[in-house]
Amino acid sequence: MSDAMKLLRRWSGLWVGEIETDKGEVLKSRMTIAPTMECRGSVVHAELTDPATGKLSRGLRMMFAVGPDQQMQTVTFSTQLGLFGLEQTPDDEDVIALTGVTDNGVQLNVTYREEDPDTMMLTVFWRPHGTSLPRDATPGLSGRLYRREPWRPEKP
């Protein structure tokens, strides 16, 4: 198992927080990470909702697996960007950094960074494919997510 997959496995569970968009919107985030494919991969399901109405703003489903080159790869579906793939890029041991291009030519850079065992920072940059990211670029999405236990009814 790759180091990135071990990190993702360690993050399995429910994560909640607030995500800010590049337009200044603050959205509520609920993300689950769970093992899949006989524990050879992981799935991430994320929903970003309007805090006032609860209406879904964006949704995402990612399937993570390790490719033949021992690097993490995804198949991703986003309600905003459609279907696309992401590949792991080198980074620190407590970071999962991914990059890819959507069918409509959007270059994505996605980073999940562990701040402590119960806190992670999510940052997503996007730009037209073939252009470089300016030094002072504002992330398209960014925010902290906190580990939570799923609700369970009390025992009788």
What is the per-residue DSSP string for 20-62?
EETTS-EEEEEEEEEEETTTTEEEEEEEEE-TTT--EEEEEEE
* pLDDT exceeds 90 at position 40: no
Mean pLDDT, residues 23-45: 92
Q: Which phi-psi region, left, alpha or beta, contains residue 124 (left: φ > 0; alpha: ψ -120 to 50)?
A: beta
Q: What average pLDDT does the segment 42-57 reach? A: 96
Asked if the model's pLDDT at residue 1 lies above 60, the reply is no
**Percentage of residues of the chain with pLDDT beyond 70:** 99
- pLDDT above 60: residue 123: yes
Please check the confidence at residue 91 and state whether its pLDDT lies above 80. Answer: no
Within a domain: 52: yes
136: pLDDT confidence band, cut at 50, 70 and 90?
confident
Residue 53 in any domain: the answer is yes
Query: Residue 38: inside a domain, yes or no?
Result: yes
Residue 44 lies in a domain: yes
Structure confidence at residue 54 (pLDDT) = 95
pTM of the predicted structure, to 2 decimals: 0.88
Domains contained in the chain, number: 1
The whole domain housing 63 covers 3-148
Residue 156 maps to a domain: no
Q: Which residue has the higher pLDDT, 60 or 132?
A: 60
Per-residue pLDDT reduced to its tens digit, 61-83: 999 998 888 888 999 999 999 99
Would you place residue 28 in the very low, low, confident or very high pLDDT band (cuts 50, 70, 90)? very high
CATH number for the domain harbouring residue 116: 2.40.128.20
Residue 155 lies in a domain: no
Among residues of the chain, what percentage have pLDDT more than 90?
66
* In a domain? residue 154: no
Q: Which residue has the higher pLDDT, 17 or 10?
A: 17
Average pLDDT over residues 91-116: 91
